[in-house]
Amino acid sequence: MDKIYLNRCAFYGYHGVFPEENKLGQRFNVDVELELDLQKAGQSDNMEDSIDYGAVYQVIKQVVEGKAFRLIETVAETISSKLLHKFTLIHACRIKVDKPDPPIHGHYQSVAVEIYRERLK
């Protein structure tokens, strides 16, 4: 299956279990991998045969910068659900939500979740 990637989309949101996360907010990075057939688009050179990357980015932005969720698992699930609903050419998507600065004591680069969802047939 062909793929479209949006890598390291950076946002500021208010997701988290702790009250300070919901009040102060923090950075979130999102990676998206979309599975779809790109052969027709590659042959036609017509945007109608593909997906507008900017429109995909706006869906991700609306979720991450919108309503606060407690879990980044919910953020990822909401992104995948909205993308599969809005863009009918997508067969499946992989969503990774990365939280670089969670309030966890220790030394690490980030915490993240990654999900893979397929369109229901």
**Would you name the residues annotated as active-site residues?**
99
Nearest C-alpha neighbor of 27 from the set 38, 17, 14: 14
Nearest C-alpha neighbor of 21 from the set 87, 103, 109: 103
* Helices and strands per DSSP (H, E), number in the chain: 4, 4
Order of strands across the sheet that contains 2-13: 2-13, 26-36, 92-99, 111-118
Which tokens belong to 111?
């915490």
